[in-house]
Structures are given as structure tokens and as C-alpha cells.
Structure 1
Amino acid sequence: MPEKLEQRYCIKFCVKLGDSQVETIRKIQQAFADEAMSTTQIKEWYNRFKDGRTSVESEARSGRPSTSRNEIVIDQLRTLVMQDRRITIRELADEVGISIGSVHSIMKEDLGFRRISAKFVPKLLTIEQKQLRLEIAQDMLETVNSDPSFLNTVITGDESWVYGYDPETKLQSSQWKHPTSPRPKKARQVRSNVKVMLTVFFDSSGVVHHEYAPHGTTITKKYYQEVLRRLRDAVRRKRPDLWAAGNWQLHHDNAPAHSSHLIEFLGQTQHTCASSGSLLSRHGSV
């Protein structure tokens, strides 16, 4: 394992300045982030320099060199990881017959692997669905290229739960502090249990219409039909140019309440893209 001499020099420097162990740990972790030495290592070297040690080099070790870190073992670990990306360090150590510490070193330094959590996405798409989305996107791009004002005629709508309050994110709660001032604290919060369904429609100019569903209301096709009637009135009042031109279009997803045949009262033609999860309806002045 390569020695982190740079960090040891920094620890020695902090000791010379009279920084406490806690301050030294904080500075090292702040300066080197993910590459910082462990808290235990920082404490160990802090105490060594505090006791008068001057060298930052590791002391020579006696005994037979380790044979667990060789090309054969590295290849075995690489093969196991490629076969099962979720295999644990302990399982790798048991499978190959080496220590957990050796597996850690090989995975990070020889193979360059990092264990990270899977990224959350709304939905995993199949190859066919991805291809269909690509085709639809290309079709929309061609439409925009042929008619630059096309997007100005589109009104997008959707529903979303709105909570009484949301806890601050880690970034939102950050603040500037002096090195000698204490770290700010906040109590753990959970998302509010009070929530209401918000339906909103907007276009390139801003919000056209929004409303909150009454408590306990289920978004059904009949309810959504009334919402669209109110949207139609809002377009007439707030977007008179679109209403007069009769070429505005509604874009929303293909939720059952949105794609019901009962909704066809809004226009004469509909183009449904079920696989891509969207529905684009052309409307005139109804």
C-alpha cells in the first residue's frame, strides 16, 4: 500500500502549530476528502509526532513478505467481481482465502474498484422502449426544426404530491464557519405526513392552470375531465392567442385517468405513445 506521506507531513505541521487532535482530523478530512487517511491512522500519526517523532517514513517491518497480493489472486478477484457485482468483501476473502484487508487493498489499488449504491431512476426501460423514445425524440426534433414555434403551442400537465414541509437537504443546511467555531447542528427531520395532490399545467410562458385536489379525492377519468374543462377555460382567459389560433396541444403521461376515451371531448384527434409513457393530444377551440 503506497504511503500517504503528504498527509503525514500535514499532520506533523498541525502538531507543530499546536492544533488539537480533533482539529487535525477535521483539517485532513476536509483537505483530502475521500482520499483522507482513516481517523485511526490520523490519531496514530498525530500521537507519534506529539511524542517527538520527526520522520514521516514507515518503519521497516520484519518477517516474510505477504504472498496474498499477486497476479493470480488479483485475477481471481477480478473474475469473481465481474461474475457478481454485488459480492461482498467478506465473501471475496472467503472465496480466495486471503484476509479482508488484503481484499480491500487489491480492490481499491490494483483493480481500481469502488463500491457505490445503485442510482435511483423512475423506471428501467427495455431496449425496445429506449429505441421508441429515441424515434419519438427525433420526430419531435424534426417537427421543431420545421416549425420553430411548435414548442410554444405545447401545454404540459401532471400531478404531484405536495407535502406540508420537506426537510432541508444537506446542501441547503450548509453554512460558512470559521475554523475555530463549532460545527453547526440540526435535528433530524422527516417529511411531513400532511400532503395534497397538486395538478399543474404550464407552457413556455409559465403556469397556465393549477389546482389542488380535495382531501380524499381519487384522480379518476371523471375528475380529470373536470380538471381539463377548467384548463380549457384557463387557456381561453390566459392564452387568448393560442385559443384564437386553435392549435394548442396538451402533453401529459398515459396514466389511466389521462388516456381514457372520456377525455376525447377535448379534441378531434389524439396521438398516443403508450410505450414511451406520454400522450400528445391536438386541440382546437372546443
Structure 2
Amino acid sequence: RPEFALQGNVGNSTSIAPWKFEVRRIPNGLALGTPSINDGNDCNPMNVIYEIMTNTRWGLGYPAADIDTANFEAAAATLLTEGNGFSFGLESHMEAVDLLNEVERQVDGITFLDHSTGKWKIKLARGGYDINTVPQLDEDNLVELGDFSRGAWEDTTNQVRVGFSNRVLDYKEDFALAQDIANAMIQGGGTPTTGVNISVTEKYPGVKDGDLANQIAWRDLRTLSYPLAKATFVVDRSFWDVTPGDVIAWTDADLGFTKLPMRIMRIDYGELRDGRITLSCVQDVFQA
């Protein structure tokens, strides 16, 4: 229960202006050594996800034993290093899963149930992998190629504006901007004088730090400014142990792909007797 103590002179006017309060709560269900980010102003998003998953009053109510805490802690360490902190005021009714989706969107990650362990994990979409050691998809294990589309330049964006409440500006609305001049030239006919700006605005209510907003703007631009391939693969059960967020390397001689990195967004494990698994994937930006 919040408690407030006030002592001092608040003025002599008979008309008191609306008061504003800056409040802070740093959850630490994961018992992290450093639970806060950005000089103690923001909480670690993984503690937020942990609370959403386990809170029995307003969250999803999973037992703490169902969470892979080692996996959550590793992701928390990554977010701490990146300065990706979360501060959010829940001012109206919001489903727990919608709040979870918002945190996932900010950290660029996917929370999923690992069928091999029965525990909840998260996979952050990051680079640093070896394309030669990730699961290889080719004609030997591809049963069927479902929906497939190549990205087109006209479907891309070359300017991203990230809207956020800036803490240093007394939480006023602010914007971070990222631009891809090369993309603008391509969409305008290939010359500097004919460049066309295609802009999109994304709002991140959990961001209160300008540096983080800039980081996210450039991250989103990287995804939106390149024509990425999308595909649905029906594969054999040699892919039984892949999880959402994993990267696979796709080789298809007919389409001209050799170890094209595709990140798994959704998995349908199908029926065991059928022996088929369906993977919905998008080309990974870290190797684009």
C-alpha cells in the first residue's frame, strides 16, 4: 500500500495546480545482483516478464518452478549490458498477455514453452551466431515449401521515428530518429536528388531514456529498411528440438539460396505420427 509523507510550504495561492509525482518500483523476482538499469531509474525487463508470468493476482499465474530462471537471468544480463530498461505505468485495464507482448516488443524477444524441459524461456533476437553450425534446412529434410515471398524495396521503410516519454524532459513526448539514405535513394530512382522518404512512427511506452530510444530506432530501421524473405516450411522431425527465435540456414538451389539465415517466429509441432513440423520464418536481419 503506497504511503506519502509531505512536510513544508506548498504556496499561498488559493488555486493549487495539479500535482505530479515521480514514483519508482524495481521488481526483482529473479534476485538479480543488479536489478535496475539506467542509473537505477528503470527495471530489468526480465523481472517484469517474470512477474507477469508468475503473479497470481493480475499475471498469468504460472508456478515459479515452471520458469527457466537460468535462461531468464542470462537474458537479463544481456539487457543490462545493452541499457534496455523498462518503466511503464499501467493506467487502465490491460490483459497480462498484452503487457507481455509489449515488453517482448521492446526487448525484441519471444517467450515460449520449451517442450523438452517443460519450462518457460525467452529468446532474444540477436546476432553472434555461426551460420554453419545452426540447423541446416535443405532438400533432404524439407518436406514442403509453403508460403514464400521475397521482400520488395517498395515495401520497406527508410525513416523510423520512435516515440517515447523522455525522463530528462519531465516525461514529455519525444522522438528518436533513424534514417537510411541509401534506401531513400533506391526508392527514388537511385540518385541523391530523387530520394524518397518513407517514414514510420513506432511508440514504446516502456522507454524513458533517450539513448535507448535511439538504439531501438536504429534496430527497427535495420528490420524495416531491407526487403526480407518470408517463408513457411514443412520439415521432418529432425527439427524436433528447434524453438521460437532460433535461426536456421536455408539452402535451395532452385531459388538461389545458400545458407540463408531464417529466424523461426512460430512452430506447429503437428502430430507425432505424421512426422511433420511447420516452421514460420523470416529472413534474419543480422545476416542480411
TM-score of the aligned structures, taking structure 1 as reference length = 0.23
The structure with the greater share of residues assigned to strand is 2
**Which has the larger Rg?**
1
Larger RCO, structures 1/2 (Cα 8 Å, 6+ apart): 2
TM-score of the aligned structures, taking structure 2 as reference length = 0.23
